[in-house]
Structure 1
Amino acid sequence: MQSLLSERSRVFEHADPYAVSGYVNQHVGSHCLRLPAHGRPEASLNHRKFSSLDLCRISYGASVRVTSPALESIYHLQILLRGHCLWRGPGQEHYLAPGELLLINPDDPVDLTYTEDCEKFILKIPTTLLESICAEQRWQHPRQGVRFVENRYRLEELEGFVNLLGMVCQEAEASERLPRIEDHYQQIVASKLLTLMKTNVSRECLASPLLSFERIDDYIERNLKQDIDIEELARQARMSLRSLYALFERHARSTPRQYIRQRKLERIHACLADPSCHVRNVTELALDYGFLHLGRFAESYRQHFGELPSDTFKRRG
């Protein structure tokens, strides 16, 4: 993995770790650095900008702890090159060894402790890049964004990925930079990530020739908490509004809006009736599914299920 940024990209060598941390905050991602109480560690950093990606190779020269509440609009892909790293997540922790990869989502808290001999490679990826790939391929994901549902991998599990990163680093260090080539490479990197790793993205496209009501229904089911726009639903299905309404009339004997409202009410009813489903109160659940007028919601619920939502909730015990 020596091909992941050479000395040509050196920004700091034998430097103050806080100076390196300040540079990382500016270019790679906001964080807080904690150094050991004693000693004078020396940090090193290589860095290149590559289209909308940032490539970084870093070592702090001490057992440091890096924390951040969340990365917000970026993903961090971190590959451990040397030493070890303790990752702490909600209710769990894991020691990363050389050759392991950690992928941090934008809303994941960061809590990492590195050994003194630790060196890592970081790839910073903007959320907009992965979303643009999904839009271009017409892949589906929840509106809150693309998320990696597994965050740790051995590099040998990701066929060809390290070699791809090596080529990206070589292009980033080339004497003549070609923006169009860089754009192509970043698209390939993002597509590889979405293909090789487990995410909340469905690569089964609504717009395929085998389009059916069941697949549109599945899209609605996965986005019930969202405000599903009917025109956007028609665009996703690559059909006119008229055709969409005809499809719903054939299969559901209702309009798309009526059908979505019915599915939302059914989901709420199931949650209220299920003791294992965590519900604090009826109002909060109704608001979660977009029912802002609580009086109308209660009346619609009563018409569908023959009782008020509060009665269903009380009966669960």
Structure 2
Amino acid sequence: MRPAAASSFDALPATGTAFAPGLLRAHRLFESSDLDDARERISRVMQPHRLQALERPRGGRSHMDFVRVGGIGLGTIRFGETTRVDVSHVEDYHLLMFCLQGHAEVLADDRMLQADGRHGMVCAPGSRFVADLSPDCEQFVLRLDRRMLESHTGRPLRFDSALDLQRPALQAWRAQLHLLLSSEALMQAVQASPIVAVEMERLLVHLLLAGQPWTDDVPLRIAARPAGAGASQAACVRRAIAHMEAHADEALRLADIAAAAGVSVRTLLDAFHRVRDESPMQTLRDLRLARARQRLRAGEDGITVAAVALDCGFAHLSRFAQAYRARFGESPSDTLRAAD
């Protein structure tokens, strides 16, 4: 390995925001001076793997911080030694990694990549992952459960393995990640509410899809549209909306709605596009906005706009207020004041 050189993810281009996962420090799983102990503890959270010191031990200490947000795991790992991590095949999740400090040489999806504060990698399920870590390296790891990802996208997919953290299209994802890991109020809301957790999943997934190149893992087969498909699609949309209306106050993923409608996610997306010219999640958002308006107009004692937003699945008060004003022509605060 080349000599260790500090690389800080805080040194961002003008399009980025500083990234410091401060809240993760409150979720420390362990500290250890024994690599075998560290390997065992990390295996319980991630998966079994091999861990090897590449140089004479320096007496460094290992640690791991980790928290889950629905089907997404976020953490930091440091070994304090020049170390090789070898995962024979990544299990049922997509692994994203870059370095908060130090650097690493990584094999991911049969590509040799450099990881530091500006570059990282994404390893697909079933692929081998090998990383040679500098002694000062602290990894940031993001674990995206495959089924969770597909429940939001409706398709198996594979990200490009090279992650360029300076890519302009990734800055919105980075900013959202930073906000989640720096706002105690937001983290508490996500952990307290399954609805908010699923909405945070969806937001992080779609921002990553918008910023990181990806391809379908299974080629899409386009079939001819059969006669009577319009009526069938309209019925599918009606079933989906009925389910959303009945369960709008619960955590819903795209796959849940498709299952209730009795179709695949791709069929559901196509039906909504053809029948309503919008996505199922846009329809769900509008249903939740309408419920929020009902609660605000009721003017219950002690009710606040923030509490209503969180109860209806909106993690970001400012985005809730923007969507509310666009839909109803007034702010949520205006609605609440009129109810007093």
Same fold (TM over 0.5): yes
Residue among 54, 61, 80 paired with 1:42? 61
Q: State the partner residue of 1:311.
A: none
CA distance in 2 between counterparts of 1:238 and 1:42 reads: 54
- The 5-angstrom pairing of residues 151-190 of structure 1 reads 151-157=162-168, 158-169=170-181, 170=183, 173-174=187-188, 177-190=192-205
In 2, the alpha carbon distance for the partners of 1:122 and 1:234 equals 30
- Give 3-state SS (helix, strand or coil) of 1:174's partner: helix
1:25-80 CA distance string (max 9 Å, x none) = 11123321112463233111111122122111111000100111211310111121
**Partner of residue 25, structure 2:** 7
Counterpart CA distance in 1 for 2:62 and 2:144 is: 24
Note closer, same or farther for the CA distance 1:163–1:17 as it changes in structure 2 (3 Å cut): farther
In 2, are the aligned partners of 1:5 and 1:57 still within 8 Å (CA)? no
SS of the residue corresponding to residue 2 of structure 1 reads coil
Q: Does 1:111 align with 2:130?
A: yes
Matched residue SS, 2:213: coil
Q: Distance in 1 between matches of 2:202 and 2:157?
A: 15
CA separation of 1:188 and 1:31: change in aligned 2, threshold 3 A: same
Distance in 2 between residues matched to 1:116 and 1:129, nearest whole Å = 34
Runs ≥4 residues deviating over 6 A: 231-234
Question: CA-to-partner distance for each residue in 1:211-235, whole Å, 9 max, x for gaps?
Answer: 989xxxxxxxxxxxxxxxxx97994
Q: Distance in 2 between matches of 1:165 and 1:90?
A: 24
- Equivalent residue for 1:134, pick from 129, 148, 153: 153
Q: What is the CA-CA distance between 1:199 and the residue it aligns to?
A: 1.1
Paired with 2:193 and 2:94, the residues of 1 have a C-alpha distance of 24
SS in 2 for 1:41: coil
| Structure 2 residue 95 is matched with structure 1 residue 83 | no
Separation in structure 2 between the aligned mates of residue 32 and residue 174 of structure 1, nearest angstrom: 34
Distance 1:58 1:193, change over 3 A: same
In 2, distance between residues paired with 1:234 and 1:31?
Answer: 35
Deviation at 1:173, TM superposition (A): 4.9
Scaled by the length of structure 1, the TM-score of the pair is 0.57
Aligned match of 2:46: 28
Q: What is the distance in 2 between the residues matched to 1:57 and 1:234?
A: 35
* Cα distance in structure 2, aligned partners of 1:179 and 1:37: 45
- Return the match for 2:75 from 44, 56, 66: 56
The answer as to 2:215 corresponding to 1:197 is no
Structure 1 residue matching 2:60: 3-state secondary structure = coil
Q: CA deviation at 1:151?
A: 2.8
Distance 1:71 1:98, change over 3 A: same
- Supply the distance in 1 between the matched residues of 2:124 and 2:167 (Cα, whole angstroms): 22
What is the TM-score when the length of structure 2 is the normalising length? 0.54
Aligned to 2:119: 100
Partner residue, 1:281 = none
Letter in structure 1 aligned against 2:180: V
- For residues 28 and 98 of structure 1, what CA distance do their matches in structure 2 show? 22
* 2: CA distance, partners of 1:57 / 1:119: 7
Taking the aligned partners of 1:36 and 1:152, their CA distance within structure 2 comes to 26
Q: Is the alpha carbon distance of 1:133 and 1:4 closer, same or farther for their aligned partners in structure 2, counting shifts above 3 Å? A: farther
Could you tell me how far 1:104 is from its partner in structure 2?
Answer: 0.9
1:201 Cα deviation from its structure 2 partner: 3.7
Matched, 1:72 2:87: no
Q: Is the 8 A contact 2:108 2:122 kept in 1?
A: no
Aligned to 2:157: 146
Q: Provide structure 2 residue ranges, at least 5 long, that are not aligned to the other structure.
A: 1-18, 227-262, 273-340
Could you tell me how far 1:161 is from its partner in structure 2? 1.6
State the 1:154 CA deviation.
2.4
- CA–CA distance in structure 2, aligned partners of residues 128 and 148 of structure 1: 15
Separation (CA, whole Å) in 2 of partners of 1:182 and 1:235 = 25
Partner of 1:289: none
Matched residues in 1 for 2:267 and 2:24: separation?
A: 46
Larger Rg: 1
One-letter identity of the residue aligned with 1:184 = E
What secondary structure sits across from 1:147 in the alignment? Answer: strand
Q: Percent identity, please.
A: 16
Q: Deviations over 1:94-143 (max 9, x none)?
A: 322212221111122101100000011111110112211122xxxxx5xx
The unaligned stretches of length 5 or more in structure 1 are 136-140, 214-230, 240-317
Secondary structure of 2:160's match?
coil
Give the 3 Å change call, closer, same or farther, for CA 109–174 of structure 1 in structure 2: same
Q: Quote how far apart the aligned CAs of 1:14 are.
A: 4.8
How far apart are 1:150 and its partner, in Å?
4.1
1:123 aligns with 2:135: no
Aligned residues: 209
Write the distance in 1 (CA, Å) between the matches of 2:106 and 2:23: 24
Paired residue type of 1:76 = L
